[in-house]
Chain A
Amino acid sequence: SYELTQPPSVSASPGQTASIACSGDELGGKFASWYQQKPGQSPVLVIYQDHKRPSGIPERFSGSNSGNTATLTIGGTQAMDEADYYCQAWDSNTVIFGGGTKLTVL
């Protein structure tokens, strides 16, 4: 079965750029999406179709997907960005989530 792998944790200082990777076999040939989940809240879609932002998502959130890795980049990280982030893809009538990455803003 298809798997997506994320680092358990990433940290960044306020104002710096944070990058979260998501790896999977030939992931670049699929669409990747990203979700933000804060404690006690439901997930929020922040990136779809690899790099597009839904309405209301700040411009500092961006995405890319090539080869075996999709990347979520948060430019000018803010304290409010501290959360768990999950990548997601679709393969063979199955939806797959990565294990999640906890972003800590130091």
Chain B
Amino acid sequence: EVQLVESGGGLVQPGGSLRLSCTASGFSFSSYWMSWVRQAPGKGLEWVANIKQDGSVKWYMDSVKGRFTISRDNAKNSLYLQMNSLRAEDTAVYYCARVSIYGDYSFDYWGQGTLVTVSS
């Protein structure tokens, strides 16, 4: 059974940093692109970043470029999101998602999400 479990969320002050983790199981983690998607309270889904199987290619949404870094450790079946210079508008539930093999960059499995709150 495919499982994605996020951790690391919490309350952080504006300008602060936080590192999210996602532990994967039930599939060959190193064979898949992975992604972070977020959802602000009461709002829609918003893609944050993607990373290729070997970590050599990374894409980011414009508003997090230079502040967030996606990475992975295939030996530990883990995905990470380092978030720096956090802003109030980064407040959201952050989901770890597996990019499907269908070739359309759809997401076929999602974690339960971890809440990040940026507030003083």
Contact of B44 among A93, A94, A95, A100 (CB under 8 A): A100
A33–B110 Cα distance when bound, in Å, is: 15
Say yes or no: B100 contacts A45, CB within 8 Å.
Answer: yes
Query: Is A61 close to B, CB under 8 A?
Result: no
Q: For A86, what are the chain B residues with a Cβ–Cβ distance below 8 Å?
A: 44-45
Tally of contact residues, A, Cβ under 8 A: 25
Q: For A88, what are the chain B residues with a Cβ–Cβ distance below 8 Å?
A: 45, 106-107
Contact of B110 among A42, A54, A84, A95 (CB under 8 A): A42
Contact of B35 among A31, A42, A48, A95 (CB under 8 A): A95
Tally of contact residues, B, Cβ under 8 A: 23
Say yes or no: A49 contacts B113, CB within 8 Å.
Answer: no
Say yes or no: A99 contacts B104, CB within 8 Å.
Answer: no
| 6 nearest A-B residue pairs (beta carbon) | A31-B104, A33-B106, A95-B47, A90-B105, A42-B110, A100-B44
- Not counting A42-B113, A45-B100, A94-B47, a sample of 20 additional A-B residue pairs whose C-beta atoms are within 8 angstroms of each other reads A31-B104, A31-B105, A31-B106, A33-B104, A33-B107, A35-B45, A42-B111, A43-B107, A45-B107, A45-B108, A49-B102, A86-B44, A90-B105, A95-B35, A95-B59, A95-B105, A96-B47, A97-B44, A97-B45, A98-B44
A interface residues (Cβ-Cβ under 8 A, vs B): 1, 31, 33, 35, 37, 42-45, 48-49, 52, 54, 84, 86, 88, 90, 93-100
Some 9 contacts from A to B, beta carbons below 8 A apart, are: A42-B113, A43-B45, A43-B95, A44-B110, A45-B100, A45-B107, A45-B108, A90-B105, A99-B44
